[in-house]
């Protein structure tokens, strides 16, 4: 069982400072979701700045969504400094498998940096593990979608990748699969409309980094709680929508839901099973 009161309470009490090297499309949303969940964001991607910034933070979120020749070296510098300090590092391999530079950069990051968490959709995680994949832009390929027919295979794949990397692996989508190589958590929270917003995955990675940073020694439970919190917030936010609201309002309502989320709501609304 996940102790939601302890995990969420630690985030709100400790206010973890998270360094984000994230993509330019969603950087503002990532900052706001961190504030909403109880963390504190700082964004820095210049090579002359990232080592100092990572040094004063508790955790590091690396997102390759808009990587370029300037930010790639920064990811390695910050990641290695975080490793030296024992800070948890999360990798969000946005679009891995869609282009050579994304796939190769993500693979090299895995080689040179120790990650506490790897979070992505099934196609991105497969690209990391296998070196190539078919993706639909930054979305999972329809042929890769996790369902009851392939669930056992996905679980075995995720566990093996977790053991290989030493990271908690979070494959997120309509059904979320989280594993530390031994324990497996299947999460059913969320709403289909969340896929109509650019950045819910990026926001989740930022928030997950805060949860893991605030709960040292419990990365698996922290990742599960963060994924559940985001999915549940998507459900709560959808109930607020009126006929005049669209995906922009929905994004804001999700952030509001995270901001107002209580441990009791998390416990009561969590839809998960352990394997």
The pLDDT tens digits of the residues spanning 14-56 come to 999 999 999 999 999 999 999 999 999 999 999 999 999 999 9
Give me the number of domains the chain comprises: 1
pLDDT for residue 145: 76
Give the C-alpha separation, 259 to 12, whole Å.
10
**What is the structure's pLDDT at 132?**
59
pLDDT at position 158 is: 97
Structural domain range at position 62: 4-274
Q: So what's the pLDDT on residue 248? A: 97
Q: Which residue ranges of the chain lie beneath pLDDT 70?
A: 132-144
Task: Give the DSSP per-residue string, 69-126.
Answer: TTHHHHHHHHHHHHHHHT--EEEE-TTBTTBHHHHHHHHHHHHHS--SEEEE-HHHHH
CB-based contact 65:94 (threshold 8 Å): yes
Q: The domain that contains 43 carries what CATH number? A: 3.40.1190.20
Per-state percent for the chain, helix, strand, coil, to nearest 5: 55, 15, 30
């Amino acid at each position: 069982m996940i102790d939601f009161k302890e995990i969420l309470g630690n985030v709100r009490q400790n206010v973890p400072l998270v360094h984000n090297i994230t993509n330019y499309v969603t950087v503002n949303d990532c900052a706001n979701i961190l504030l909403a969940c109880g963390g504190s964001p700082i964004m820095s991607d210049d090579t002359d700045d990232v080592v100092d910034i990572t040094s004063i933070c508790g955790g590091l979120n690396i997102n390759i969504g808009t990587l370029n020749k300037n930010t790639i070296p920064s990811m390695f510098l910050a990641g290695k400094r975080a490793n030296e300090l024992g800070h948890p590092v999360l990798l969000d391999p946005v679009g891995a498998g869609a282009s050579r530079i994304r796939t190769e950069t993500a693979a090299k990051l895995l080689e040179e940096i120790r990650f506490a968490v790897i979070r992505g959709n099934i196609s991105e995680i497969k690209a990391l593990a296998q070196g190539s994949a078919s993706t639909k832009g930054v979305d999972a390929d329809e042929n890769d979608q996790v369902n009851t027919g392939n669930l056992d295979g996905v679980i075995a794949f995720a566990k093996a990748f977790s053991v290989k990397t030493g990271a908690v692996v979070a494959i997120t989508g309509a059904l979320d699969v989280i594993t530390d190589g031994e324990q497996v958590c299947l999460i059913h929270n969320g709403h289909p409309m969340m896929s109509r917003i650019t950045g819910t995955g990026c926001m989740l990675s930022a928030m997950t980094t805060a949860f893991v940073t605030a709960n040292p020694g419990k990365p698996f439970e922290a990742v599960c709680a963060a994924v559940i919190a985001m999915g549940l917030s998507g459900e709560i936010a959808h109930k607020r929508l009126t006929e005049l609201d669209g995906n922009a309002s929905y994004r804001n309502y999700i952030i509001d839901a995270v901001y107002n989320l209580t441990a009791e709501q998390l416990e009561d609304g969590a839809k998960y099973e352990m394997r």
